[in-house]
Structure 1
Amino acid sequence: MSKSQDYDLNVFYVESPGQLINAMEAIYKFKSKWKLLIRYNGDSINDKQIEKVLNFYMCKSEPVFTSGEVVKVYSFTHFFTIFLSVLLFNGKAKKYIGCHKSKFLKPFHILRIPMVLMDDGIATLAYLNRLENEKRSFIQRFFSTLNPMDLFTALDLSSFDVGKANVEKHNFSFLKSLITDSDDSSKVYFFGAKYIEASILSEKSYENLLTQVIKVYEGQDVYYLPHRGEDRSRLNRYKSIGFKIYEPSFPSELELVLSERKPTVVAGFFTASLFTTSVISPNTKVTSFKIPNELINTASLNYIYDYFSTFSSIYELEA
């Protein structure tokens, strides 16, 4: 590939269905040549959703979605070889990544390879908060895997200090073009999260919070949508609390587009699904339930809920 062609190539690396959606929004917006590296991690739910999301876009009539190259990655060695070849032979191509914490990318962060972060939601807010607040010595900065990056995001970052980073905004324009107005006034979607699996909350605390949520929507059909990383053995307990269980085949962004009757309300704690819903379907009511600081044993989540208050209603829960 010639030097002039380098500038026309965008390279994307993603590890989850949601990251793949962001990559496709970038592909749709830029209308440039692209190469998409997709890592399959062996988790059946994650990998099946990735395949369904990929097929969704490949079956669309948009020529840009079928004019690039998709490379499926199954190991670090495979990824390292491909990514290194991109750096050597397509060095001027822009490189977009789905998560700043990816273990596969650590060597390239240490080498300060220029990359663009396109992970909308909590991970991006956490990245910016850490970047803003961490004070480190020169040695710590030199070896840190926290690599300052440009951003491709739907988030409004006007309240954050992004330093010298270039911020490229998008608003899920492709998915918004597919959304319908039909909704179901009796339906509430509550997006679960893997807080127990990540040791953020105990089982008892999580179930206590869910019991409070159900009381808020008494008399309505409240569907619990588990995160792909949640232990399915607990779902019957959530059902006994009063939730109906709904396991979607697609990430929340595509569920909104594909559902014939959308929920009138979407809710959760501090999941990115709430933010993306507010962008893709502005008429849908969004509620964020605030986990008490004493349960998580940190006040650092306040900046997340402060941001969420700009697009959702915040409902305070009790410990």
Structure 2
Amino acid sequence: MKKGTLTVKAAALVIWALLLFAPFLFQDVRQIEVAARIAVFIVLVASYDLLIGYTGIVSFAHTMFFGVGAYGVAIALKHMGAGWGPVLLGTAGGVVVTALLAVAIGLLSLRVKAIFFAMITLAAASVVLVLASQLSGITGGEDGMTYKVPELFKPATKLFTDEAGKVVRLWGVQMNGKLAAYYFVFVIAAVLFWAMLRIVGSPLGTVLKAIRENEGRAEGIGYRVVAYRTAVFVIAAVTAALAGSAYALWLKYTGPETVLSFGIMIDILLMVVIGGMGTMWGAVIGATALVMAQYYLRDLMEVAAGATAELPLLPELLNPERWLLWLGIIFILLVYFFPAGIAGTIIDKGDRKAGA
């Protein structure tokens, strides 16, 4: 294995290891929320990279599939009560609806040019967002919906107790339902990510790359390009829906801004660019980098502004209210110094040195 690829894989595996032990390493509630969000977005970014990075499909409907999966579980739990039956039924319903939407969009649109397909997916996502906001009797409308989750995931649930009936602590962490919910999300994310790694390393992954590089040539040597593009579109959509189902269980709340907003689609695009298109390991790095920046850049700027309070101009520039400005500057610098994304650039440079 070449040095660049090895470096990226090592970094991604370290991130996965930190996520695995996050409840024990970072015991603050906010930090666990960040870890769960990173795990979910790794899956979202990796599944989107399967489209844009490996197949060359530009879609703006990925949050639509994510939202359908989340709303499937949320609606089932809201109207049928807490239990594993509604969870399974809601997940299955979300996956079926997602697959049908993906097939319909894929078969109707993947024959057109890339820009027109992108616009069609954007229109479809906008329609679903409007429906989720307007159908308040089913989806809760703009306010969204809260619901109860299975007993296993409730914070008051004691996973292990001592002789006195008190919840057991491991390294200071309570073995309760909140821990079970986190590891449920982590395991789902890890399994889905592993599945996508297997896909891109399989003969299907090779065909997808061939379609990305030269669609006409792939068609000419006998591959049914539309069928392959539709298949990968459905796979990516179903993966996003499953991630949405897991996230709905973690949040215990689902609303348009949480799972369907265009802002989430922008985040996914930024994560793909930051990590590097066409490398699954880049999804781990890109998702982690952007989520950490969104949660902690403002705090860091507040500390920096306090430390430079006696200096001219700097405290104003480092005002925490300007964190989005600095996030944009950081993104521009990343694109400039890592034109193929962090993982992509490291892999390219490492491979060139190895070949020199």
Structure with higher Rg: it is 2
Q: Same fold (TM over 0.5)?
A: no
TM-score normalized with structure 2 length: 0.24
Give the TM-score normalised by the residue count of structure 1.
0.25
| Higher RCO (Cα < 8 Å, 6 or more apart) | 2
Looking at secondary structure, tell me which structure has more helix per residue: 2
